[in-house]
């Protein structure tokens, strides 16, 4: 089957593409290789994909409707995974218009092209951030989204609404996946786990925002890919599904686990809570288990161990060198 993956040069996208290619699918990537984080990382992800014969990479921007339509008209994908986005909560406060353009207009372009060129299945990468700040855990897909606290989350919620709209207007079979903080090899370097490992390694101070009691449901990349692939076989019309580990840990405990596996101690300073951040995330994954056979396997202890082992080898390969200066505003 021809599967189109937007954002295929990114963290989650590149892992998904490798798995799809290994399953024998033809994979078409659209990615603009932007410099949100060091492009060398995305180029290296693309290098891995190019080792497979059945992979085509279009270096194009999803906000360009003409380019998107051209690619769909030539490639005629049966299934689309739409993962390209401006990701991350904090930078969205600095660049809300960019987030709106890429995550809303870009998503509409991909939906329009999918409708026009007869895509059979559309899978949208949404985020746990749409749940916003809430006391009640775990987060369930039918919770009301009435407390969104960042432009990023607002654009993801808008994307979900457009997905629902295209399903009801045009019958586009759609699955919206809400990812809960994803980590693992090739992770975005500005995210917790990767960022903390780097800072512990270089002896820099880690700023923990708040008192360390904010908590997250961290999901290992292999589990996310398992959920993404589960969507291919599921016969669903429209559903919203959480993908998390269904557990949650404090930030201070996460730092301790990373320290343990890095074999080094972190220097920690505490800073004020950041606008846009939420206190907790925690996924109810009952729907994922029932509808797409999702069964997460990697707990945080094991996942961090795997991450650190990748980090040590990739760092010494030089892929991450020089990223610090490029990350200064993130
Ligand atoms: N990583 C997480 O913890 C997490 C959590 C929740 C949701 N998500 C969502 O999952 C998806 C993938 O996230 P990721 O962590 O792999 O991020 P990523 O930044 O590594 O991947 C996104 C990719 O999209 C590409 N892209 C961005 N704007 C584009 C544009 N205008 N045109 C074409 N390509 C463009 C980027 O170059 C990048 O390669 C995103 O939609 C993100 O919002 C991620």
DSSP codes joined into one string, 177-194: EEE--EESTT--TTSTTH
Q: Is the CA virtual torsion 272, 274, 280, 281 positive or negative?
A: negative
Question: Residue 201: inside a domain, yes or no?
Answer: no
Q: Which domain holds residue 118?
A: 2-183+219-246+282-297
Question: Would residue 321 count as lying in a domain?
Answer: no
Q: Which atom of ligand 1 is nearest to the CA of 37?
A: 19
Residue 48, in any domain of the structure: yes
How far apart (Å, rounded) are the C-alpha atoms in residues 7 and 145?
26
Confirm whether 198 is domain-assigned. no
Taken as a whole, the chain contains a residue count of: 330
Domain count, the chain: 1
Residue 179: CB within 6 Å of ligand 1?
A: yes
For residue 179, which atom of ligand 1 is closest to its CA? 6
Closest to 28 (Cα-Cα) out of 66, 68, 64, 65: 68
pLDDT of residue 320: 65
Across the chain, the runs of DSSP E, i.e. the strands, are: 2-6, 26-30, 55-58, 79-82, 121-127, 174-179, 182-183, 205-209, 215-216, 219-220, 238-243, 249-250, 267-271
Letter string b/e over residues 264-301, b meaning 16 or more CB atoms within 10 A of that residue's CB: eebebeeeeeeebebebbbbbbebbeebbebebebebe
Residue 325, H or E segment: helix 323-326
CATH of the domain at 61: 3.40.50.720
Residue 176 belongs to some domain of the structure: yes
- The pick from 4, 5, 10 for probing ligand 1's pocket by mutation, whose C-beta has the most ligand atoms within 8 angstroms, reads 10
How many angstroms is it from 280 CA to the middle of ligand 1? Answer: 22
Q: Is residue 319 part of a domain?
A: no
The response to whether residue 244 sits with its C-beta less than 6 Å from ligand 1 reads no
Best residue among 8, 11, 45 to mutate for probing ligand 1, ranked by most atoms within 8 Å of CB: 11
In this predicted structure, what is the pLDDT of residue 286? 98
| Residue 253: inside a domain | no
Residue 325: Cβ within 10 Å count:
7
Atom of ligand 1 nearest to the CA of 34: 37
Using the atom order of ligand 1, give the atom closest to the CA of residue 87: 43
Pocket lining: 320 vs ligand 1, CB cutoff 6 Å = no
CB-based contacts of 46, cutoff 8 Å, min separation 6: 9, 14, 29, 31, 33, 57
Domain membership of residue 313 (yes or no) is no
CA distance 148 to 133: 7
**pLDDT digit string (tens) for 41-59?**
999 999 999 999 999 999 9
Per-residue pLDDT, 329: 41
Catalytic (active site) residue 152: yes
What's the rounded Cα separation, in Å, for the pair 184 and 201? 17
Question: One of 152, 166, 294, 311 is an active-site residue; which one?
Answer: 152
Ligand 1 centroid–CA 82 distance in Å is 9
Is the distance from CB of 128 to CB of 82 less than 8 angstroms?
no
What is the pLDDT, as a whole number, of residue 77? 98
Tens digit of pLDDT at every position of the chain (330 positions): 999 999 999 999 999 999 999 999 999 999 999 999 999 999 999 999 999 999 999 999 999 999 999 999 999 999 999 999 999 999 999 999 999 999 999 999 999 999 999 999 999 999 999 999 999 999 999 999 999 999 999 999 999 999 999 999 999 999 999 999 999 999 999 999 999 999 999 899 998 888 878 999 999 999 999 999 999 999 999 999 999 999 999 999 999 999 999 999 999 999 888 888 888 999 999 999 999 999 999 999 999 999 999 999 886 566 665 555 444 444
- The partner residues of 126 in beta bridges, in order of sequence, read 178
């Amino acid at each position: 089957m021809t599967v189109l993956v937007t954002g295929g040069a990114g963290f989650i996208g590149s892992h998904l593409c490798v798995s799809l290619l290994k399953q024998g699918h033809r994979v078409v990537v659209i990615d603009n290789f932007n410099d949100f984080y060091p492009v060398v990382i995305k180029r290296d992800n693309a290098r891995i994909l190019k080792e497979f014969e059945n992979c085509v990479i279009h270096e194009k921007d999803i906000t360009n409707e003409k380019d998107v339509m051209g690619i769909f008209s030539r490639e005629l994908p049966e299934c689309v995974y739409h993962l390209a986005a401006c990701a991350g909560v904090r930078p969205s406060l600095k660049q809300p218009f960019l987030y709106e353009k890429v995550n809303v207009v870009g998503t509409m372009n991909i939906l329009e092209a999918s409708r026009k060129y007869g895509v059979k299945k559309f899978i949208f990468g949404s985020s746990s951030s749409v749940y916003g700040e809430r006391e009640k855990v775990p987060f369930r897909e039918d919770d009301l989204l009435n407390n969104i606290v960042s432009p990023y989350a607002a654009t993801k919620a808008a994307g979900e609404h457009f997905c629902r709209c295209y399903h009801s207007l045009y019958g586009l079979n759609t699955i919206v996946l809400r990812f809960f903080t994803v980590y693992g090899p090739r992770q975005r370097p500005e995210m917790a786990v990767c960022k903390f490992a780097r800072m512990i390694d270089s002896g820099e101070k880690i700023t923990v925002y708040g008192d360390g009691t904010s908590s997250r449901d961290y999901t290992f990349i292999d589990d996310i890919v398992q959920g993404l692939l589960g969507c291919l076989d599921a016969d669903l019309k429209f559903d919203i599904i959480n993908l998390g580990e269904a557990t949650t840990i404090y930030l201070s405990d996460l730092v301790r686990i990373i320290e343990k596996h890095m074999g080094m101690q972190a220097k920690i300073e505490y800073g004020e809570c950041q606008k846009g951040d939420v206190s907790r995330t925690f996924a109810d994954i009952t729907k994922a288990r029932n509808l797409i056979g999702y069964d997460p396997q990697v707990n945080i202890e094991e996942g961090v161990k795997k991450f650190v082992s990748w980090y040590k080898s990739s760092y010494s390969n030089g892929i991450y060198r020089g990223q610090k200066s490029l990350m200064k505003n993130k």
